[in-house]
A and B are shown apart, each in its own frame.
Chain A
Amino acid sequence: MCETTTKQPEIKVATGDRAILPEGAKTIPIFVMGKQYQVPETLTIMKAMEFAGFKFLRGAGCRGGICGACPTVYRMAGDYKLHFGLACQTVVQANMYLAQIPFFPANRASYNIEEMNAAAEGIQALYPEIFRCVACNLCTKACPMEVKVMDYIAALKQGNIEKAARLSFDCIQCGLCASRCMGEIPQYHVAQLARRIFAKFIQPRFEHLVSRVKEIESGKYDQMLDELTKMDHETLKKIYVEREREPDLSTLGAWKPKETQYL
């Protein structure tokens, strides 16, 4: 997951993944896997760990709070309560005890989506462990995205795939829910299956998408793309700068381009 470098670099340069401590900046103590480090306040956990010398080989991804690679568990000194967050989004606090849980083993069922259907029984058969839920709600408390995890598991027990798909929409597959489940349910895999089933078998098909794909396959845009790829740099620049553009804040549907042959 990560390792500490024994030797600090001699010259610190701002490379984008390493915080440089400004003159006189206040530092606070945090505890990473039990060991104390002095880190500048206002940094995220991820930046603070890198400041302390940790290097992320895995357990870091988009650094923008959406890939789910950097889930972190922490406690504040003297408090029994567990807290959860993404290392790239959560700002350090003094006397925070933390550890990264970049991955948590969770059973993922294999299935052929083409052989599934809109019935919830299919999901229940692939993941019978959802019936081990005792409604303790620790999954929901662990979710860094504030997804109502217990509620979507309950929805699937009730056969309501659409509700489960909608409730779990913000899931980033970090796995913290599964790490806390006494029923050993792999909630995030179950939710992903629910969203796939919903999208494929329940949600109405978008007909305009089908017709657009047909247009593309019929070769309607091939010639234009060929011309673009063969175009010299200067011409490309020129047509880009001169391109028609919808004015900012124009009323929805009010603007139409003059060139309509590709619409």
Chain B
Amino acid sequence: MKISYYPGCTLKLKAKNLELAGLASLKALGIDVEEMDRWNCCGAVYSLTDDDLIHHVGPVRNLVRAKERGADKLVTLCSMCYNTLARANQLMKTDVVKRDTINRFMDDEIDYAGEVEVIHYLTLLEEHVGWDKIKAKVKAPLTDLKVAPYYGCTLQRPQDVGIEPMGSFRLMTRLLEAIGATVVPFNSSDKCCGSYQVLNAPAGDNDAAANVLKAANQAGIEALATSCPLCEYNLGKQQEQFLAKSKITAHVPTFYFTQLLAMALGVSPEVCHFELNDIRSLQLLEAKNIQAAA
């Protein structure tokens, strides 16, 4: 079976910490994935306008490239890339009329009908590695780190492409347990972070994000784990302002789940690029004495 890896534009710039920690972890786990040699933007947001087919061309072109290279599966890390690619794939599988229109428009490419399976990195971990194997490979368990999975919107919605059913956070929970963390029950794992709508709002005004962090404060959660660069931005980058406005009572460092996995597997902190997160994220890990056994 050939698994192609689709990185996504953000992971090459602002969310290097998500990608590099994820790739280093796969290496440590002995899983071989190949980055696609030719790819373009995933489309970022799946167009919901019924007759707006041009915005599906971007994601479909990536799927075509994966098919061309003989990939059975296409794995992604970013929640938004996953959502857009998986939904475009679903469209090409199920809607014959739109599929034909898109294939005819893309007359410079081979035809595509949903042959490649789009999976998220978490699914790859469960199906191709297994939680027990991950547990066995842990060198620096995240003992005493009280953490909750934060899925945001795009990992589970809509149901037919979600990595697991709405309301279930099993995949990331199992991962966090496997790496030794204490997973705290959390009622806001699938609440919206504010998405793009708040990017022009003054810092500290995003109550969607503040409410998620406040719920984490109340549940005694020390850190959140996410797979979405936009969620990480909204939740992680304005905590000073939220504190100043008394919207939250304490910092809640936000991590990409790959950074926690990498640290537990003994990957060097430099690879995880914690400087791209809030400064408190690395401090928290240091305070918990989570270090690679080396």
Contact check, A134 vs B12: say whether CB atoms are below 8 A apart.
no
Nearest Cβ on chain A to B260's Cβ, whole angstroms: 25
Interface mask (A128-161 → B, CB under 8 Å = 1, otherwise 0): 0001011111001100000000110010011110
Say whether A120 faces chain B, with CB atoms less than 8 Å apart.
Answer: yes
Residues of A contacting B13 in the complex (Cβ-Cβ under 8 angstroms): 120-121, 158-159
The interface of chain A, by Cβ under 8 A from chain B, is: 120-121, 131, 133-137, 140-141, 150-151, 154, 157-160, 182
- For residues 51 through 81 of chain B, which have their beta carbon under 8 Å from a beta carbon of chain A? 54-55, 57-58, 61
Residues of B close to A160: CB separation below 8 A: 12
B residues in contact (CB < 8 Å) with A: 7, 9, 12-13, 38-41, 43, 54-55, 57-58, 61, 105-106, 108
Q: Determine whether the beta carbon of B12 is less than 8 Å from that of A135.
A: no
The 6 closest A-B pairs by CB, nearest first: A135-B58, A154-B40, A158-B12, A159-B13, A135-B40, A157-B9
Question: Does the CB pair B55–A134 fall under 8 Å?
Answer: yes
Partner of B12, one of A131, A159, A182: A159
Which residues of chain A come closer than 8 Å to B7, judged between CB atoms? 158
Give the distance in Å from the alpha carbon of A133 to the alpha carbon of B58 in the complex.
9
Judge whether B41 and A154 touch: CB under 8 Å. yes
Set of chain A residues within 8 Å of B40, measured between Cβ atoms: 133, 135, 150-151, 154, 157
Bound complex: CA of A174 vs CA of B13, how far in Å? Answer: 31
What are some 26 contacts across the A-B interface (CB < 8 A)? A120-B13, A133-B41, A134-B43, A134-B55, A134-B57, A134-B58, A135-B40, A135-B41, A135-B43, A135-B57, A135-B58, A135-B61, A136-B54, A136-B105, A137-B61, A140-B108, A141-B108, A154-B40, A154-B41, A157-B40, A158-B9, A159-B9, A159-B12, A159-B13, A160-B12, A182-B54
What is the minimal beta-carbon distance from A48 to any residue of chain B, in angstroms? 29
Q: Which residues of B contact A136 (CB under 8 A)?
A: 54, 57, 105
- Further contacts, 14 of them, CB under 8 A, given A121-B13, A134-B43, A150-B40: A133-B41, A133-B58, A135-B58, A135-B61, A136-B54, A137-B108, A154-B39, A154-B40, A157-B9, A157-B41, A158-B9, A159-B9, A159-B12, A159-B13
Which residues from B are CB-within-8-Å of A154?
39-41
Best-surrounded residue of A131, A141, A159 (most CB of chain B within 10 A): A159
**How many angstroms between the C-alpha atoms of A170 and B39 in the bound complex?**
21
A136 to B107 CA separation, bound complex (whole angstroms): 11
Q: Considering the chains assembled together, what is the distance between the CA atoms of A51 and B73 in angstroms?
A: 57
Name A135's closest neighbour in chain B (CB-CB).
B58
- Given A151-B38, A154-B39, verify A134-B54 contact (CB < 8 Å): yes
* Chain B residues positioned under 8 Å from A135 (CB to CB): 40-41, 43, 57-58, 61
- Chain B nearest CB from A157 CB (Å) reads 5
| Bound Cα distance from A148 to B40, whole angstroms | 12
Residues of A within 8 A of B12 (CB): 158-160
B56, closest chain A residue (CB): A134
Which residues on A sit within 8 Å (CB–CB) of B57? 134-136
**Closest partner residue, chain A, to B58 (CB atom):** A135
CA distance A225 to B122 in the complex (A): 71
